[in-house]
Protein backbone atom coordinates (compact mmCIF):
# COMPACT_ATOMS: atom_id res chain seq x y z
CA UNK A 1 0.00 0.00 0.00
CA UNK A 2 2.77 2.39 0.95
CA UNK A 3 4.55 1.47 -2.29
CA UNK A 4 1.49 2.40 -4.38
CA UNK A 5 1.07 5.64 -2.42
CA UNK A 6 4.69 6.51 -3.07
CA UNK A 7 4.26 5.84 -6.79
CA UNK A 8 1.11 8.00 -6.81
CA UNK A 9 2.94 10.87 -5.12
CA UNK A 10 5.85 10.63 -7.59
CA UNK A 11 3.45 10.61 -10.55
CA UNK A 12 1.57 13.63 -9.17
CA UNK A 13 4.84 15.50 -8.65
CA UNK A 14 5.92 14.69 -12.23
CA UNK A 15 2.55 15.84 -13.58
CA UNK A 16 2.74 19.03 -11.50
CA UNK A 17 6.21 19.77 -12.79
CA UNK A 18 4.99 19.07 -16.33
CA UNK A 19 2.07 21.47 -15.88
CA UNK A 20 4.36 24.14 -14.42
CA UNK A 21 6.77 23.69 -17.32
CA UNK A 22 3.93 23.97 -19.82
CA UNK A 23 2.60 27.10 -18.10
CA UNK A 24 6.10 28.58 -18.25
CA UNK A 25 6.38 27.72 -21.95
CA UNK A 26 2.95 29.21 -22.70
CA UNK A 27 4.00 32.43 -20.91
CA UNK A 28 7.22 32.41 -22.95
CA UNK A 29 5.20 31.91 -26.15
CA UNK A 30 2.85 34.74 -25.21
CA UNK A 31 5.77 37.08 -24.44
CA UNK A 32 7.54 36.23 -27.70
CA UNK A 33 4.37 36.74 -29.70
CA UNK A 34 3.77 40.10 -28.05
CA UNK A 35 7.31 41.20 -28.90
CA UNK A 36 7.21 39.97 -32.49
CA UNK A 37 3.69 40.90 -33.55
CA UNK A 38 5.06 44.09 -35.15
CA UNK A 39 4.58 43.35 -38.84
CA UNK A 40 7.73 45.27 -39.75
CA UNK A 41 9.87 42.80 -37.79
CA UNK A 42 11.29 39.66 -39.38
CA UNK A 43 12.13 37.80 -36.16
CA UNK A 44 10.34 34.54 -35.37
CA UNK A 45 8.79 33.13 -32.21
CA UNK A 46 10.93 30.67 -30.32
CA UNK A 47 10.00 28.17 -27.62
CA UNK A 48 12.37 26.35 -25.28
CA UNK A 49 9.91 23.58 -24.42
CA UNK A 50 10.45 20.15 -25.95
CA UNK A 51 6.71 19.54 -25.93
CA UNK A 52 5.70 18.47 -29.45
CA UNK A 53 2.32 20.26 -29.42
CA UNK A 54 3.76 23.54 -28.11
CA UNK A 55 6.52 23.50 -30.73
CA UNK A 56 3.89 22.79 -33.39
CA UNK A 57 1.82 25.73 -32.12
CA UNK A 58 4.87 28.01 -32.26
CA UNK A 59 5.52 26.88 -35.85
CA UNK A 60 1.90 27.58 -36.85
CA UNK A 61 2.09 31.03 -35.23
CA UNK A 62 5.30 31.78 -37.13
CA UNK A 63 3.67 30.73 -40.41
CA UNK A 64 0.72 33.00 -39.68
CA UNK A 65 2.98 35.92 -38.77
CA UNK A 66 5.01 35.39 -41.95
CA UNK A 67 1.85 35.40 -44.09
CA UNK A 68 0.62 38.58 -42.35
CA UNK A 69 3.99 40.26 -42.89
CA UNK A 70 4.03 39.38 -46.57
CA UNK A 71 0.48 40.73 -46.95
CA UNK A 72 1.40 43.88 -45.04
CA UNK A 73 4.57 44.46 -47.09
CA UNK A 74 2.61 43.97 -50.30
CA UNK A 75 -0.01 46.45 -49.12
CA UNK A 76 2.64 48.90 -47.91
CA UNK A 77 4.50 48.69 -51.23
CA UNK A 78 1.29 49.13 -53.20
CA UNK A 79 0.34 52.11 -51.05
CA UNK A 80 3.74 53.73 -51.65
CA UNK A 81 3.47 53.06 -55.40
CA UNK A 82 0.00 54.55 -55.48
CA UNK A 83 1.11 57.70 -53.66
CA UNK A 84 4.05 58.12 -56.04
CA UNK A 85 1.79 57.50 -59.03
CA UNK A 86 -0.78 60.04 -57.83
CA UNK A 87 1.97 62.64 -57.40
CA UNK A 88 3.36 61.94 -60.89
CA UNK A 89 -0.09 61.87 -62.47
CA UNK A 90 -1.14 65.10 -60.78
CA UNK A 91 2.01 66.75 -62.13
CA UNK A 92 1.60 65.36 -65.64
CA UNK A 93 -2.07 66.28 -65.82
CA UNK A 94 -1.42 69.78 -64.54
CA UNK A 95 1.21 70.51 -67.23
CA UNK A 96 -1.02 69.94 -70.30
CA UNK A 97 -4.02 71.46 -68.50
CA UNK A 98 -2.06 74.67 -67.88
CA UNK A 99 -1.03 74.71 -71.55
CA UNK A 100 -4.62 74.15 -72.69
CA UNK A 101 -5.88 77.04 -70.58
CA UNK A 102 -3.07 79.34 -71.69
CA UNK A 103 -3.35 78.64 -75.41
CA UNK A 104 -7.16 78.82 -75.27
CA UNK A 105 -6.89 82.31 -73.80
CA UNK A 106 -4.40 83.32 -76.53
CA UNK A 107 -6.62 81.86 -79.26
CA UNK A 108 -9.62 83.81 -78.00
CA UNK A 109 -7.62 87.03 -78.02
CA UNK A 110 -6.16 86.49 -81.51
CA UNK A 111 -9.44 85.77 -83.22
CA UNK A 112 -9.55 83.88 -86.54
CA UNK A 113 -5.90 83.88 -87.68
CA UNK A 114 -3.20 81.40 -88.73
CA UNK A 115 -1.71 81.78 -85.27
CA UNK A 116 -5.05 80.79 -83.75
CA UNK A 117 -4.99 77.56 -85.76
CA UNK A 118 -1.51 76.84 -84.39
CA UNK A 119 -2.76 77.36 -80.82
CA UNK A 120 -5.74 75.09 -81.45
CA UNK A 121 -3.43 72.33 -82.72
CA UNK A 122 -1.38 72.60 -79.50
CA UNK A 123 -4.58 72.50 -77.43
CA UNK A 124 -5.75 69.38 -79.27
CA UNK A 125 -2.35 67.71 -78.73
CA UNK A 126 -2.33 68.50 -74.99
CA UNK A 127 -5.94 67.34 -74.63
CA UNK A 128 -5.02 64.06 -76.35
CA UNK A 129 -2.13 63.72 -73.90
CA UNK A 130 -4.55 64.04 -70.96
CA UNK A 131 -7.05 61.62 -72.50
CA UNK A 132 -4.30 59.03 -72.93
CA UNK A 133 -3.34 59.36 -69.27
CA UNK A 134 -6.89 58.98 -68.00
CA UNK A 135 -7.68 56.05 -70.32
CA UNK A 136 -4.49 54.26 -69.28
CA UNK A 137 -5.34 54.62 -65.59
CA UNK A 138 -8.97 53.63 -66.06
CA UNK A 139 -7.96 50.53 -67.99
CA UNK A 140 -5.46 49.49 -65.35
CA UNK A 141 -8.00 49.93 -62.54
CA UNK A 142 -10.44 47.70 -64.44
CA UNK A 143 -8.02 44.89 -65.27
CA UNK A 144 -6.54 44.74 -61.77
CA UNK A 145 -10.04 44.05 -60.43
CA UNK A 146 -9.45 40.40 -61.30
CA UNK A 147 -12.56 39.90 -63.43
CA UNK A 148 -12.24 38.45 -66.93
CA UNK A 149 -15.01 39.69 -69.22
CA UNK A 150 -14.53 37.14 -72.01
CA UNK A 151 -14.22 33.42 -72.60
CA UNK A 152 -11.07 31.66 -73.75
CA UNK A 153 -11.10 30.82 -77.45
CA UNK A 154 -8.96 28.84 -79.86
CA UNK A 155 -6.71 31.47 -81.32
CA UNK A 156 -4.15 31.44 -84.13
CA UNK A 157 -1.48 33.48 -82.43
CA UNK A 158 0.53 34.08 -85.60
CA UNK A 159 -2.43 35.93 -87.18
CA UNK A 160 -2.80 38.22 -84.15
CA UNK A 161 0.94 38.98 -84.21
CA UNK A 162 0.95 39.68 -87.96
CA UNK A 163 -2.00 42.10 -87.59
CA UNK A 164 -0.24 43.87 -84.73
CA UNK A 165 2.98 44.36 -86.71
CA UNK A 166 1.01 45.68 -89.71
CA UNK A 167 -0.83 48.17 -87.48
CA UNK A 168 2.46 49.49 -86.11
CA UNK A 169 4.29 49.49 -89.43
CA UNK A 170 3.69 53.20 -90.26
CA UNK A 171 4.93 54.24 -86.80
CA UNK A 172 7.96 51.95 -87.07
CA UNK A 173 8.72 53.29 -90.56
CA UNK A 174 8.49 56.85 -89.24
CA UNK A 175 11.12 55.99 -86.62
CA UNK A 176 13.30 54.39 -89.30
CA UNK A 177 12.91 50.97 -87.71
CA UNK A 178 12.85 48.02 -90.10
CA UNK A 179 11.72 45.03 -88.04
CA UNK A 180 13.25 41.61 -88.66
CA UNK A 181 10.27 39.29 -88.42
CA UNK A 182 10.33 35.49 -88.22
CA UNK A 183 6.86 34.00 -87.70
CA UNK A 184 6.06 30.30 -87.95
CA UNK A 185 4.35 29.30 -91.18
CA UNK A 186 2.62 26.51 -89.26
CA UNK A 187 -0.51 27.49 -87.29
CA UNK A 188 0.16 28.22 -83.62
CA UNK A 189 -3.24 27.51 -82.07
CA UNK A 190 -3.85 28.01 -78.36
CA UNK A 191 -6.91 28.46 -76.14
CA UNK A 192 -6.46 32.00 -74.82
CA UNK A 193 -8.24 35.30 -74.22
CA UNK A 194 -8.15 37.08 -77.63
CA UNK A 195 -8.13 40.64 -76.26
CA UNK A 196 -5.32 39.74 -73.84
CA UNK A 197 -3.09 38.39 -76.61
CA UNK A 198 -3.79 41.42 -78.80
CA UNK A 199 -2.95 43.80 -75.96
CA UNK A 200 0.22 41.90 -75.03
CA UNK A 201 1.62 42.17 -78.56
CA UNK A 202 0.51 45.79 -78.90
CA UNK A 203 2.10 46.87 -75.61
CA UNK A 204 5.37 45.06 -76.33
CA UNK A 205 5.74 46.52 -79.83
CA UNK A 206 4.78 49.95 -78.50
CA UNK A 207 7.44 49.61 -75.79
CA UNK A 208 10.04 48.72 -78.44
CA UNK A 209 8.87 51.66 -80.54
CA UNK A 210 9.56 54.04 -77.63
CA UNK A 211 12.92 52.67 -76.52
CA UNK A 212 14.52 51.05 -79.58
CA UNK A 213 17.76 52.57 -80.83
CA UNK A 214 16.68 51.70 -84.38
CA UNK A 215 16.38 47.93 -84.52
CA UNK A 216 13.68 45.39 -83.74
CA UNK A 217 13.49 41.61 -83.92
CA UNK A 218 10.22 39.71 -83.55
CA UNK A 219 9.79 35.95 -83.75
CA UNK A 220 7.19 33.27 -83.01
CA UNK A 221 8.03 29.59 -83.23
CA UNK A 222 5.75 26.68 -84.05
CA UNK A 223 5.99 25.69 -80.37
CA UNK A 224 4.45 29.02 -79.32
CA UNK A 225 7.65 30.71 -78.12
CA UNK A 226 7.41 34.45 -78.74
CA UNK A 227 10.46 36.73 -78.64
CA UNK A 228 10.88 40.47 -79.12
CA UNK A 229 14.31 42.13 -78.90
CA UNK A 230 15.78 45.55 -79.53
CA UNK A 231 18.81 47.62 -78.57
CA UNK A 232 17.67 50.08 -75.90
CA UNK A 233 20.47 52.21 -74.47
CA UNK A 234 17.96 54.12 -72.31
CA UNK A 235 17.21 50.90 -70.43
CA UNK A 236 20.65 49.30 -70.13
CA UNK A 237 21.08 50.39 -66.49
CA UNK A 238 17.61 49.18 -65.52
CA UNK A 239 16.92 45.77 -63.99
CA UNK A 240 14.97 44.04 -66.76
CA UNK A 241 12.45 42.57 -64.30
CA UNK A 242 11.66 46.04 -62.92
CA UNK A 243 10.18 46.97 -66.28
CA UNK A 244 7.09 44.96 -65.35
CA UNK A 245 6.57 46.70 -61.99
CA UNK A 246 3.46 48.82 -61.61
CA UNK A 247 4.05 52.53 -62.34
CA UNK A 248 7.75 51.95 -63.14
CA UNK A 249 9.05 54.70 -65.38
CA UNK A 250 12.35 55.69 -66.95
CA UNK A 251 13.26 59.37 -66.62
CA UNK A 252 14.22 59.59 -70.29
CA UNK A 253 10.65 58.70 -71.22
CA UNK A 254 8.86 61.31 -69.10
CA UNK A 255 7.56 63.06 -72.21
CA UNK A 256 5.85 59.90 -73.49
CA UNK A 257 2.91 60.44 -71.10
CA UNK A 258 3.43 56.89 -69.88
CA UNK A 259 3.19 55.75 -66.27
CA UNK A 260 4.74 52.34 -66.66
CA UNK A 261 1.41 50.55 -67.04
CA UNK A 262 2.00 49.01 -70.48
CA UNK A 263 4.41 46.27 -69.43
CA UNK A 264 2.72 45.71 -66.07
CA UNK A 265 -0.45 44.96 -68.05
CA UNK A 266 1.56 42.46 -70.12
CA UNK A 267 2.66 40.77 -66.90
CA UNK A 268 -0.90 40.62 -65.55
CA UNK A 269 -2.31 39.16 -68.75
CA UNK A 270 0.42 36.52 -69.13
CA UNK A 271 -0.06 35.47 -65.50
CA UNK A 272 -3.82 35.10 -65.98
CA UNK A 273 -3.22 32.87 -68.99
CA UNK A 274 -0.41 30.92 -67.26
CA UNK A 275 2.11 31.92 -69.94
CA UNK A 276 5.70 32.20 -68.61
CA UNK A 277 7.20 35.66 -69.12
CA UNK A 278 10.92 36.54 -69.07
CA UNK A 279 12.97 39.69 -69.62
CA UNK A 280 16.75 39.95 -69.82
CA UNK A 281 19.65 41.62 -71.63
CA UNK A 282 21.54 39.71 -74.29
CA UNK A 283 24.36 41.17 -76.42
CA UNK A 284 23.28 44.70 -75.52
CA UNK A 285 19.63 44.07 -76.38
CA UNK A 286 16.56 44.00 -74.20
CA UNK A 287 14.84 40.66 -74.81
CA UNK A 288 11.31 39.77 -73.72
CA UNK A 289 10.05 36.21 -74.17
CA UNK A 290 6.65 34.61 -73.64
CA UNK A 291 5.76 30.94 -73.90
CA UNK A 292 2.21 30.55 -75.16
Whose CA is closest to 83, among 212, 278, 240, 247? 247
> What range defines the domain where residue 265 resides?
153-291
pTM of the model: 0.57
Spatial CA neighbour of 217 closest among 189, 190, 183: 183
Domain match, 123 and 22 both = yes
pLDDT by 10s per residue, the chain, length 292: 666 667 777 676 777 667 766 677 677 767 766 666 665 666 667 666 667 777 777 777 777 778 777 777 777 676 666 666 666 666 666 667 777 777 777 777 776 777 777 777 777 777 776 776 666 666 666 666 666 667 899 999 999 999 999 989 888 988 899 999 999 999 999 999 998 999 899 999 988 988 889 999 999 999 999 999 999 887 766 667 777 776 665 544 444 445 557 788 899 899 999 999 999 988 888 999 999 9
Same domain, 119 and 158: no
Clarify whether residues 109 and 180 are in a common domain.
Answer: no
Within-domain flag for 6: no
My answer on whether 176 and 239 are in the same domain is yes
Picking from 100, 126, 147, the residue at the C-terminal end of a domain is: 147
Is residue 5, in this structure, part of any structural domain at all? no
**CA 20 to each of CA 14, 31, 50: distance values in angstroms, whole numbers, following the listed order:** 10, 16, 14
What is the number of domains present in the chain? 2
Q: Is residue 80 part of a domain?
A: yes
Compute the half-sphere exposure of residue 63: CA atoms within 13 Å on the CB side of its CA: 6
Amino acid sequence: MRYLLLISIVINIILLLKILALRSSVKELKRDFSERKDLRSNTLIGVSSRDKELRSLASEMNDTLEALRLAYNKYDQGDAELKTAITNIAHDLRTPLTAICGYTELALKKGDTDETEKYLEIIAERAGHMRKLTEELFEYSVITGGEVSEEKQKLQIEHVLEDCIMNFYPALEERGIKPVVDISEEPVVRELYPSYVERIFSNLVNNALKYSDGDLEISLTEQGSFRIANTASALTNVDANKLFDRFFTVETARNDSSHGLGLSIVKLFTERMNCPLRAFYENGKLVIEIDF
